[in-house]
Homo-oligomer: A and B are copies of this chain.
Amino acid sequence: MVIVMAPEATNDDIEAVVDRVSRAGGEAFVSRGVSRTIIGLVGDVERFTTLNLQGMPGVADVVRVSTPYKLVSRENHPARSTVTVRGVPIGPDTVTLIAGPCAVETPEQTLEAAKMAKAAGATLLRGGAYKPRTSPYAFQGLGEHGLRILAEVREETGLPIVTEVVDPHDVELVASYADMLQVGTRNAQNFSLLQALGEAGKPVLLKRGMTATIEEWLMAAEYIAQRGNLNIVLCERGIRTYERATRNTLDISAVPVAQRLSHLPVVIDPSHSGGRRDLVLPLARAAIAVGADGLLVDVHPRPEEALCDGPQALVHEDLPELAAILRDFPPLLNRKPVTADEAALTTA
């Protein structure tokens, strides 16, 4: 059950609701959004219906939810949401390109990749400073030094930063540099991390676990939402199947399915899905065509030297075609690509 508070509801109104629910043996999770607060209730729903919550001051609506997730569900919030990252929108009317290097390696490589991203039409810069790697002997990222490089590149290019965080106790540090915090596929059920992100005050890009069901993915989002952060963008990045021709199997159907179940924006990562450079552009076209709200794409000036996932990065000569896809396909879906000017305008 979800209590939607009116925009003018006071803290006292909210506390009164929480208090009444607690006395009835339930738990209340308060999510404070920009314009209004909603409260997720856990416990005996039948009992809650006897509490006359609808009649309490500041309560706009009481919604019964039958899915196991509540705050992120469309039952609870029928209109699809737009998440804004430092002025750049990700939502149902636009197609947003997030691009950059898989890993931050040097200031030069990062700057060059950011310029490539911009040339392709990106309005957000991705780049990993903390890399969760299957092998303890693989490159693990530059850590805070990488974050500083990203901040400098943002300064120079104007592109807001999306970067991964892997430990709940790094969330504050990473959030002090980044504009959007990414949860990687291996941490999709790292509940401590998800809860920390719920309190981070920054938008979150939540990658689907490589073997998560769509329901588990939405439950992971619910962990973030439950701690007060509804600025979540879901990212489909391929799932693990028996097929070996591709690194993962892009579950493209997951986009319309998740958009029907949840109001959160959904983007596709065509780079990690296939793990092959030759598949990135076809999958990017398919992603926009199926209705994704954005793309997350690896670019690298010299993929053969990349410390991580080089084989899937786009190179300079691929950029014009990516830019053309971003220009031509969204209008067929009544969307427009987000452009740098627009993003700047929104920020101003």
Contact = CB atoms under 8 A, between A and B. Distances in A.
Interface of A: 29, 40, 42, 68-70, 132-137, 166-169, 186-187, 189-192, 210-211, 213-216, 219, 222-223, 226, 239-246, 249-257, 260, 273-274, 278-279, 282-283, 285-291, 328-329, 332-333
Nearest to A256: B282
Contact of A245 (B166, B213, B245, B332): B213
A301 to B, nearest CB: 24
Nearest to A275: B253
A289 B285 contact: yes
Nearest to A167: B192
A320 to B, nearest CB: 15
Given A42-B137, A286-B290, 7 more contacts: A134-B216, A169-B169, A214-B243, A245-B253, A285-B332, A289-B290, A328-B332
Given A68-B137, A283-B252, A213 B243 contact: yes
A132 B288 contact: no
A260 B241 contact: no
B282 A68 contact: no
A286 B253 CA distance: 10
Closest 4 CB pairs of A and B: A211-B211, A289-B289, A186-B189, A285-B289
Contacts of A241: 239, 241-242, 249, 251
Nearest to A42: B137
Which among A243, A255, A283, A332 has the highest number of chain B CB atoms within 10 Å?
A: A243
Nearest to A225: B136
Which among A186, A282, A288 has the highest number of chain B CB atoms within 10 Å?
A: A282
Contact of A250 (B133, B135, B253, B285): B253
A204 B239 CA distance: 29
B135 A68 contact: yes
B168 A167 contact: yes
Nearest to A71: B136
Contacts of A260: 278
Contacts of A282: 253, 255-256, 289-291
B286 A257 contact: no
A68 B250 CA distance: 26
Contacts of A136: 29, 191, 219, 222-223, 226
